[in-house]
Structure 1
Amino acid sequence: MKKQEFKVKATLQKKNNFWYVVCDYKDGDGKRKQPWLKTGIPVKNGSEREKNKLISLVEEKRKELERSLFTSCDTLFVDYAQQWINDNAYRYAEVTVARYRSIIKVNIAKYFQPLKLTLSEVDRKDLEGFYQSLFREGKTPKTISTIRGVVRNILEAAEDDELILNSPYNKAKCIVPNRVKNNLEDSFDYLRREEISTVLEIVKPYYLYPMVYIAINYGLRPGELLGLRWQSIDLENGRMDINFSAIQVEHTMIYKKTLKNKYSQRSFVLSKDAIRILKAVKAEQEENRKYYGNCYYKQEHDFVFLQENGKPFQEKFVMRELQRKLVKNGFRKIRLYDLRHTCCSLMINARNREGGPAFSPKEIMEYMGHSSIKTTMNVYAHVEEKIQREIPDKIAALISGDGQVVNTNKKAS
């Protein structure tokens, strides 16, 4: 990264009863420059004592000019972004580094590479254009927020490296298009109680059934579900520990012992049905191992959910297969994460004999592995909002006398 440096000297001078900082330097062609920089401070008596009080201001103005004269020359924004993650990889967890590399390669480079903008050329309008392109591609506000965070880190590092004077990040606005705002309420989905049996019936003949069942029952994140290992399950005593995860970044799976947060590491009591299902999975794996023999995939981790040949699943593959099976049977598309939302919604809607909540927010938070009660209550708000929207349809159905409760808010498959 080429950077031309200018050594600037500065002194304090009086002019028209105001103090000025007079700088002295030679430009790139060797010509002497002496700009007078305004301070806006009037001269009182011009004493040395008065001048000494302004020494820090002189140094500040000198550094500001010196930094503004630095040029990033041939340092392209994309090149610096890639160099930034290489230099700072040690500061982040492995999965975070992989995600940042993916964002730089798939999103940032895709947009900025054809523009060939240097660091000093990237401005507010360029960033705003980038954000809008992400919305056009169908990226969610949450995903765009993550991408913006990477952009902010890159530009702040460039500012610290004195390759740019000021980062344009804070000036750039990320305006959510109206069409995206209108679809935000549908971004949170979960299965209603009557839909759970339908989904389980659809996937029952396939390998997806145990995964869907366990995910709904225990509210596991996709990474926790695919990272579930036999060594963390005690079928005899009916216990299951969540202490490992399998995260997909692009086409690569990253396996790690550290979970999303310290509250994610939790332990469950297995129900009789869960024990029965997991025993069947284990027995089927043993049969597959014998059938494939030496061709059976040798893996480092003893994962619970594997392909027939012993190879670990990738999250996107499982979600794609789940959606394909559901749509084929006339059901809407759902994500693996929506199974976790389903578990949370079941706990929120559960009632005790007196008609009150069966679980407190704290109990739900601990069961789901949320790091904050605010996260739990945010899910609660989503569920309550959807329930409130369904009430008028249910009342209308009762008034009509047909005895049927019709949910017109149900998404089309």
Structure 2
Amino acid sequence: MTAPKRKARANGEGTIYQRNDGRWEAAGYVLAADGSRKRVRVYGTTRKNAADKLAEKIADSNRGLPVATADSTVGVYLAYWLNSVAVHRLRENTLTRYATCIRLYLKPGLGTKKLARLTARDVRTFLDRLRTTCQCCAQELDIVRRRCCRIGECCDKLLSPLTVTYVHSVLKSALEHAVREDELPRNVARNVKTTVPRPRRFTPLTATEARQLLQAAKADRLHALYELALRTGLRKGELLGLHWEDLDLDAGTAAIRRSLQRTRTGGLTPLPTKTRASERRIALPTRCIESLKSHRERQEKERTASGTNWRERGLVFTTPTGGPLDPANLTRRFCVLLDQTGLRRIRFHDLRHSTATLLLEQGVDLVVIKELLGHAHIGVTAGVYAHVRLRLQRQAIDTLNDSLGTGNDDPDDPPAADVIR
């Protein structure tokens, strides 16, 4: 008895066959990212698995959604990935940085390469060239500004190792999606190893400098903000995004739910916290509770003085008329305060580092600091403050050396206990 013939697939459903390696391959025509119709191939462990993947892509294409294909160039695929994939899972500011990275570096360097033919060598060559090429010349800024190579004096404006690593990570993320959608068999960018850039050095305040800053800030209308920044380690956006409803001054707690950020499309916008771990409830120090109560009284007076000009947002820290504080303006105010106090210039974010450093030096457990700062993993906390932990280790070792190096045995010391193995 002969096996029944498989029903022929309808026009437009594509073709399916089993490969020599045992996997099933399905191919069909879809709407590509550049507006043309191109043949796409997907793979599956079973015939049904491959057919379902192809049907999903054809359905997206029939709805007018572009589908990435391995026949696309890297530039076309990156545009598709940015506008159809990354836009749904990235914060707006992160998406803007990704778009800038693609526009300035990835598209000019790899944009004309066929996605399916991209190799690890291509990626390595591109990154090496990126490290050694003057960006003023590469982006033709010298032509516009008539300087650098335009006048025969190259300024050697090279990208920092951190930026090169960031460009590499964006490319890896895009190609990883192509692998997940079976457009590529492997992520060639992952086969290229780049040097890990040295972490950015920060200069936290000492305990004496922190006290000096807080003393000088007492005359500032944002004194409560500086108290919170130094005593709790909150991020700038978290401080500016605090609402009065987030605070329970009687219980002495604060719920960190959002972060105020300036976006390209929405201006000053409250956004979700940086990570899920950043959404947390923290205990407020007594000094912070006192300063917040004073700040609320001052804000009530400003509301009365502003009258109809007051813009009620429910924010803790506002402009004198109730509007949200711009993060850039806060940075400028902070620099002025440092200059008036006679302290060295540091970043506002270094207040957060100062909090963690001072807590570590007081012997506070790393887990407690991790929860206070809202780090996703304790490894982040341990990595950022490794230099502090090393200094504490040295102090502990020096203490032990002092104890062992006296050479005088105390007759009253108890005998050594047996060690149980």
TM-score normalized with structure 2 length: 0.60
Given that residues 192 and 342 in structure 1 are in contact (C-alpha distance below 8 angstroms), is that contact kept between their aligned partners in structure 2? yes
Given that residues 258 and 279 in structure 2 are in contact (C-alpha distance below 8 angstroms), is that contact kept between their aligned partners in structure 1? no
Kindly indicate whether residue 386 of structure 2 is the aligned counterpart of residue 381 of structure 1.
yes
| Change in 2 beyond 3 A, CA 1:376/1:162 | closer
Given that residues 245 and 255 in structure 1 are in contact (C-alpha distance below 8 angstroms), is that contact kept between their aligned partners in structure 2? yes
Given that residues 85 and 97 in structure 1 are in contact (C-alpha distance below 8 angstroms), is that contact kept between their aligned partners in structure 2? no
| Change in 2 beyond 3 A, CA 1:116/1:263 | closer
Secondary structure of the 1:190 match is coil
**Paired-residue identity, %:** 26
Which residue of the partner structure matches residue 171 of structure 2?
Answer: 151
Kindly indicate whether residue 259 of structure 2 is the aligned counterpart of residue 245 of structure 1.
yes
Alignment deviations for residues 343-388 of structure 1 (CA, whole Å, 9 cap, x no partner): 11222112xxxxxx3x333333333333333333334422244679
| Change in 2 beyond 3 A, CA 1:237/1:154 | closer
Query: Which amino acid is 2:102 matched to?
Result: I
In structure 2, C-alpha distance between the alignment counterparts of 1:168 and 1:132, rounded to whole Å: 22
Which residue of the partner structure matches residue 406 of structure 1?
Answer: none
In structure 2, C-alpha distance between the alignment counterparts of 1:361 and 1:70, rounded to whole Å: 47
Match of 1:372 among 373, 377, 380: 377
Kindly indicate whether residue 304 of structure 2 is the aligned counterpart of residue 287 of structure 1.
no
Kindly indicate whether residue 285 of structure 2 is the aligned counterpart of residue 265 of structure 1.
no
Alignment deviations for residues 214-254 of structure 1 (CA, whole Å, 9 cap, x no partner): 11111212232122110011234433222332244568444
Given that residues 130 and 164 in structure 2 are in contact (C-alpha distance below 8 angstroms), is that contact kept between their aligned partners in structure 1? no
Kindly indicate whether residue 348 of structure 2 is the aligned counterpart of residue 336 of structure 1.
yes
1:32-51 alignment to 2 at 5 Å?
A: none
Which residue of the partner structure matches residue 41 of structure 1?
Answer: none
Match of 2:83 among 81, 86, 89: 86
Given that residues 230 and 355 in structure 2 are in contact (C-alpha distance below 8 angstroms), is that contact kept between their aligned partners in structure 1? yes
TM-score normalized with structure 1 length: 0.61
Match of 1:217 among 215, 219, 231: 231
In structure 1, C-alpha distance between the alignment counterparts of 2:367 and 2:261, rounded to whole Å: 27
Query: Which amino acid is 2:172 matched to?
Result: R
Query: Deviation of residue 259 (structure 1)?
Result: 5.3
Secondary structure of the 2:375 match is coil
Match of 1:311 among 323, 348, 359: 323
In structure 2, C-alpha distance between the alignment counterparts of 1:160 and 1:373, rounded to whole Å: 29
| Change in 2 beyond 3 A, CA 1:378/1:126 | closer
Query: Which amino acid is 2:303 matched to?
Result: R
Secondary structure of the 2:317 match is coil
Query: Which amino acid is 2:345 matched to?
Result: K
| Change in 2 beyond 3 A, CA 1:104/1:200 | same
Structure 1, unaligned stretches of length 5 or more? 1-6, 13-68, 351-356, 391-413
Query: Which amino acid is 1:174 matched to?
Result: T
Given that residues 253 and 281 in structure 2 are in contact (C-alpha distance below 8 angstroms), is that contact kept between their aligned partners in structure 1? no
Query: Which amino acid is 1:149 matched to?
Result: S
In structure 1, C-alpha distance between the alignment counterparts of 2:366 and 2:180, rounded to whole Å: 43
In structure 2, C-alpha distance between the alignment counterparts of 1:70 and 1:82, rounded to whole Å: 14
Query: Deviation of residue 189 (structure 1)?
Result: 2.8
| Change in 2 beyond 3 A, CA 1:9/1:239 | closer
Query: Which amino acid is 2:282 matched to?
Result: S
Structure 2, unaligned stretches of length 5 or more? 1-14, 21-68, 136-155, 396-421
In structure 2, C-alpha distance between the alignment counterparts of 1:371 and 1:114, rounded to whole Å: 35
Which residue of the partner structure matches residue 97 of structure 2?
Answer: 103
Secondary structure of the 1:255 match is strand
| Change in 2 beyond 3 A, CA 1:164/1:370 | closer
Given that residues 165 and 194 in structure 2 are in contact (C-alpha distance below 8 angstroms), is that contact kept between their aligned partners in structure 1? no
| Change in 2 beyond 3 A, CA 1:117/1:267 | closer
| Change in 2 beyond 3 A, CA 1:187/1:327 | farther
Query: Deviation of residue 341 (structure 1)?
Result: 1.6
| Change in 2 beyond 3 A, CA 1:161/1:377 | closer
Given that residues 241 and 268 in structure 1 are in contact (C-alpha distance below 8 angstroms), is that contact kept between their aligned partners in structure 2? no
1:128-207 alignment to 2 at 5 Å?
A: 128-130=128-130, 141=162, 145-158=165-178, 167-175=187-195, 181=198, 184=199, 187-207=201-221
Given that residues 86 and 95 in structure 2 are in contact (C-alpha distance below 8 angstroms), is that contact kept between their aligned partners in structure 1? no
| Change in 2 beyond 3 A, CA 1:250/1:191 | farther
Query: Deviation of residue 197 (structure 1)?
Result: 2.0
| Change in 2 beyond 3 A, CA 1:331/1:155 | same
Which residue of the partner structure matches residue 362 of structure 1?
Answer: 367
Secondary structure of the 1:311 match is coil
RMSD: 4.0
Query: Deviation of residue 193 (structure 1)?
Result: 0.6
In structure 2, C-alpha distance between the alignment counterparts of 1:118 and 1:166, rounded to whole Å: 20
Alignment deviations for residues 298-351 of structure 1 (CA, whole Å, 9 cap, x no partner): 43xx2211122222123333224323442465433322322122111222112x
In structure 1, C-alpha distance between the alignment counterparts of 2:185 and 2:112, rounded to whole Å: 13
Query: Deviation of residue 101 (structure 1)?
Result: 2.1
Query: Which amino acid is 1:260 matched to?
Result: T
Given that residues 259 and 265 in structure 1 are in contact (C-alpha distance below 8 angstroms), is that contact kept between their aligned partners in structure 2? no
1:54-69 alignment to 2 at 5 Å?
A: none
Higher RCO (CA-CA < 8 Å; seq separation 6+): 1
